[in-house]
Amino acid sequence: MSNFEKLKEYGQEHLLRYFDELSDDEKSSLIAQINEADFTLLDELKEKDKNKVSDNSSGELSPLGALEIEEIAKKREEFEKVGLEAIRAGKVAALLLGGGQGTRLGFNGPKGSYNIGVTRDFYIFQAQINNMLDVCRKADCFFPLVIMTSDKNDAETRSFLKEHGYFGYPEEKIRFFVQDMAPSCDYNGKIYMEGKAQLSLSPNGNGGWFKSLVKAGLDRELKESGVEWINVFSMDNVLQRICDPVFIGATILSGTNCGAKVVSKNAPGEKVGALCLKDGLPTIVEYYEMGDELAAELDENGKLKYRFGVILNYLFSMKRMYEIVDEKMPLHIVEKKIPYMDESGNLVKPEKENGYKFEYLAVDTVRDMLSCLSFEVEREKEFAPIKNKEGIDSVVSARELLAKNGVIC
């Protein structure tokens, strides 16, 4: 299909409105963006109108249970041994999801380059790398660290880390790749433009990480070097243990295709996704999908039935990831404030939501794994997410939790 046919089929001819005014370079760039953009996402918008958008609200839910802290403590040595062996044999890589825009933090730059220190410089990246170095010392080796960025922060992320000497992680063990972008559109499904030669594009969520890794060819490098497990983790949680040998060992020994670190929710309504079973398969049900009543249900011991919340730290089997790489993932259509170019060619930053962004989410991969070990960790020791500047899940709360764990910053 030619570009023009593609535009016509999807009713996006307006993207060429300024084409004749553009320089040759700008024309080529715009054509490349149109070529590259996945317009089929817009089809799902029609489904949304029919309330058919994929979600987790249907299906029969039941608790999944977890390998709980006391149980883990009893088998700690055994798990750790297996985990360390896997790390030393080069079977495990870490993959940092760094393509987000951190809008809630309100910081113009890669979230990892945010300085959370008070008495000294202490960057979010540094916190994550320090946590990894703890494991490297124990294992007496370095594991591959793969960092996913987006077009919006790739150059800045690379230069920031280089400038800081990768906070002590060996450069030759680090790889970067850029995630895919998705167009943003108005409520009528018309893709916004940010400039006369620029479509409005944003990172397509953290769920496309494996497809983008494959596109970049990095999967082969990992596979050829013997990697079998990928520990995917988020930028936000500055207390998390990455490539935690105990978690790795427990997942390997459980024979599942994936492991998920979970914490006990601090309240039924806490804003974390609950790891449970839906129609018998491991599934993460977001807090807004579960409903207050179900979220508050108690088990026979008086504990919340659905108490295990995920913290975006998963161990995925590479083998299983290959089996599902071509499968369609659920697409999440999210209302957002999208900067756009108005009729007079000015860039407008809207005060309220004005359209949709399209995202794939890593949580949805867990279901495709078919089996998952839910692995409980102590929230006071392993969960200090930074989403906001102040308040819940913020720089301030993370600093306090870091201090409780002996990290003064």
Q: What is the three-class DSSP state of 409?
A: coil
273 lies in the binding site for ligand UTP (CB under 6 A): no
Enter the tokens of residue 61.
Answer: 């839910």
Binding residues for ligand UTP restricted to 105-134, rule: CB under 6 A: 111
When asked if residue 238 is in the footprint of ligand UTP (CB under 6 A), the reply is no
Q: Shortest gap between Cβ of 96 and ligand UTP (angstroms)?
A: 7
Q: Assess 100 for contact with ligand UTP (CB under 6 A).
A: yes
168 Cα distance to chain centroid: 24
The smaller minimum CB distance to ligand UTP, of residues 305 and 387, is found at: 387
Instruction: Please choose, out of 5-13, 102-110, 368-376, 397-405, the segment that lies near ligand UTP by the rule CB under 6 A.
Output: 102-110
CA distances from 336 to 27, 104, 202, 273, 308 (A): 28, 12, 11, 21, 29
At residue 332, what are phi and psi to the nearest 5 degrees? -105, 125
Residue 376 or 393 having the CB closest to ligand UTP: 393
Please say whether the beta carbons of 95 and 146 come within 8 A.
yes
Residue type, 173: K
Does residue 99 interact with ligand UTP by CB under 6 A? yes
Residue 288 and residue 291: Cα distance in Å, rounded?
6
Contact (CB, 8 A) for 88 and 140 = yes
State which of residues 200, 206, 283, 317 lies at the interface with ligand UTP (CB under 6 A): 206
Contact between 368 and ligand UTP per CB under 6 A = no
Residue 260 in contact with ligand UTP, rule: CB under 6 A: no
Cα 202–chain centre separation: 14
Q: Is 309 in the site for ligand UTP (CB under 6 A)?
A: no
- Give the one residue of 63, 144, 205, 273 binding ligand UTP; rule: CB under 6 A: 205
Site for ligand UTP contains 236 (CB under 6 A): yes
- Tell me phi and psi for residue 275, to 5 degrees: -85, 115
Query: Site size for ligand UTP, by CB under 6 A?
Result: 19
Helical ranges in 312-370 per DSSP H:
318-324, 363-368
Task: Report the residue from 34, 80, 91, 98 that binds ligand UTP according to the rule CB under 6 A.
Answer: 98
Assess 354 for contact with ligand UTP (CB under 6 A).
Answer: no
203 lies in the site for ligand UTP, by CB under 6 A: yes
First to last CA, the chain: 56
Q: List interacting residues with ligand UTP (CB under 6 A).
A: 97-104, 111, 148, 179, 203-206, 234-236, 387
